Amino acid sequence: MLLSAMGTGIGYKVGEFSKNQVAGITNSFSNTMASKPTGILTIEGPYTNSAWPSVAGNIGGSVAGEGVSAYGQSLVDYLKQFMTK
């Protein structure tokens, strides 16, 4: 259970980090734009951000969480052999 919680925590942090990194690349242009009315028929509205940062964050978090859950027990067993000597 402890390894599952550790995997979840690490996966969350990796996901947030990768989400923020991708958001800086994909949404940098749309965040600098501001709508300016130039006439009577000007269409104004918020510019939408890309969905790719969330996708990258979810993938990164899932991979990191599953990796820690899958290989965490073998790492603990490996470290135990040094502590018992």
C-beta separation of 26 from 52 below 8 A: yes
How distant is the alpha carbon of residue 18 from its chain centre?
4
Cβ density class 19-29: b for 16+ within 10 Å, e for less = beebbeeebee
pLDDT at position 54 over 60: yes
The Cα–Cα gap between 15 and 38 comes to: 41
Dihedrals φ, ψ of 46, to 5°?
-70, 145
Average predicted confidence (pLDDT) for the chain? 77
15-40 per-position pLDDT tens digit:
888 888 888 777 766 556 655 666 66
Map out the domains of the chain as residue ranges.
7-23+51-85
Tokens 């502590």 belong to which residue?
Answer: 83
